[in-house]
């Protein structure tokens, strides 16, 4: 007896609690059954008439919070930042082998851009807006992990994908793995 708006919020809870495959499936179900081609959202399944959700004037009752929940769930599946640690691509659905994020604001006033390819992080670009400790955990490709702060490479120990360093306001940090620095640009990935 769920209605449209419940699906994105369930997906958000699934993303937050470490059930990424379930969250993805619920989002796909919502998009398929409760969202029109014009992106207007139905409270009831497409083709099902539910008088309860019509307004007195006869218009279909829409809500906007479901769209916000949908976006929040996708963001939570890509980047989580709570408890002082930014977890990048850690709880993404198994189908998301390739993923990009661009300037996602995280706890601690960091803007995070990154690219994931074949389940490994290719690079992370971080802008520290106010300074402070950065704790970032992600799955890097094989090879040495490089940390470049304001254009200068620094030796920073990386253990189990966790990078910890102190930043100053305005610091620009690039983190990548391997011997060759990848092109640090975020661009749309082909859909599947």
pLDDT per position as a tens digit, 98-138? 999 999 999 999 999 999 989 999 999 999 999 999 999 99
CA–CA gap between residue 20 and residue 74 (Å, rounded): 10
Q: What is the pTM of this model?
A: 0.84
Whose structure tokens read 């990386």? 158
Does the pLDDT value for residue 52 go beyond 60? Answer: no
Mean pLDDT for the chain overall = 86
pLDDT band, very low/low/confident/very high, at 3 (cuts 50, 70, 90): confident
């Amino acid at each position: 007896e769920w209605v449209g708006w419940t699906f994105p919020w369930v997906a958000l809870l699934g993303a937050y609690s470490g059930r990424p495959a379930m969250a993805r499936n619920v989002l796909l179900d919502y998009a398929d059954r409760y969202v029109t081609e014009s992106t207007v959202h139905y409270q009831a399944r497409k083709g099902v008439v539910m008088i309860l959700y019509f307004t007195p004037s006869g218009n279909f009752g829409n809500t906007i919070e479901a769209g916000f929940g949908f976006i929040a769930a996708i963001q939570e599946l890509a980047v989580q930042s709570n408890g002082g640690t930014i977890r990048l691509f850690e709880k993404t659905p198994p189908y998301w082998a390739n993923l990009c994020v661009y300037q996602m604001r995280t706890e601690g006033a960091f803007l995070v851009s990154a690219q994931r390819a074949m389940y490994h992080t290719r690079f992370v670009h971080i802008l520290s807006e106010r300074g402070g400790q950065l704790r970032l955990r992600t799955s890097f490709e094989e090879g040495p992990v490089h940390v470049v702060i304001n254009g200068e490479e620094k030796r920073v120990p990386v253990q189990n994908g966790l990078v910890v360093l102190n930043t100053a306001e305005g610091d620009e940090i690039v983190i990548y793995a391997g011997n060759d620095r990848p092109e640090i640009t975020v661009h749309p990935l082909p859909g599947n």
